Amino acid sequence: MSRITLAAPHAHGIEVKKSRFLAQALPCVSPDEAQAQITAHADPDATHNCWAWRIGEGYRSSDDGEPAGTAGRPILAAIDGSGLDQVAVVVTRWYGGIKLGAGGLVRAYGGAAAECLRTAPRLELPDLATVTLRAEYDHTGAIYSLLSQFGAIDPISEHEAQGVVVHCQLPVNVLDDFSVTLRDATRGRAILQRTDEAP
């Protein structure tokens, strides 16, 4: 099944009973990047900056002072309803003096996020391969540099007596080039194994 993300950041604003809502959808590949994007796009002078993100199976959301469940969860539901992955959405509210009630908040936050995502440019994500890399400690720096260069997702390293073992995901379309570059960088001493295929 293909995965879809944002091709670029996108924004959409609405006004509900004099309160202004600005939804900003942002591509992100890790929880740290999602939180950094949210922080960068939140307005410290606004009444609330509510947000959610979804990256694969991982997700988080925040009501940022709105009544529990009236902002973060509707934003997350909009993300999940859009079918997008690797995306964060921050919805900023400037209070207009008229209370919206719990139902009105859910509709405003969820609606702003949903419309923002519906109109956002989309990009198909490449299929991923799960791989395990084994290398001597001398090659650790070169390996991490290559993993970053080739778009590895969530590298997790373990240390063994013989060296380092790294588990991660790589786009299938770069596997061959990665394998050749890895062999050259480690003089053939690193072992790359794809672990998501049946033997």
DSSP-based three-state secondary structure for 161: coil
Task: Tell me which residue of 57, 199, 194 sits closest to 130, measured CA to CA.
Answer: 194
Range of the domain at 52: 3-124
Q: Domain boundary at 66, 97, 124, which?
A: 124
- Is there a domain that residue 199 lies in? no
Structure tokens belonging to residue 55: 């990256």
Q: Are residues 92 and 135 in the same domain?
A: no
- Answer yes or no: is 139 within a domain: yes
pLDDT along the chain (199 residues), means of 10: 80 95 92 92 96 91 95 96 93 95 96 96 82 86 84 81 85 86 86 73
Residue 33 lies in a domain: yes
Rounded-to-5 percentages of helix, strand, coil across the chain:
35, 40, 30
Taking Cα atoms as reference points, which of 113, 104, 119, 127 lies closest to residue 175? Answer: 127
Question: Which residue type sits at 102?
Answer: A
Q: Does 66 lie in the same domain as 15? A: yes
Among the candidates 124, 139, 171, a domain finishes at: 124
Chosen domain end from 86, 103, 124: 124
Q: Domain with 32 in it: what CATH number?
A: 3.30.230.30
What is the pLDDT, as a whole number, of residue 170? Answer: 83
Residues 177, 188: Cα–Cα separation, whole Å: 14
Q: What is the pLDDT of residue 197?
A: 63
CATH number at residue 188: 3.30.70.240
Strand 10-16 to 163-171 pairing: unpaired
Helices (H), ranges, the chain: 31-41, 72-82, 101-118, 140-149, 175-185
- 137 and 83 part of one domain: no
How many structural domains is the chain composed of?
Answer: 2
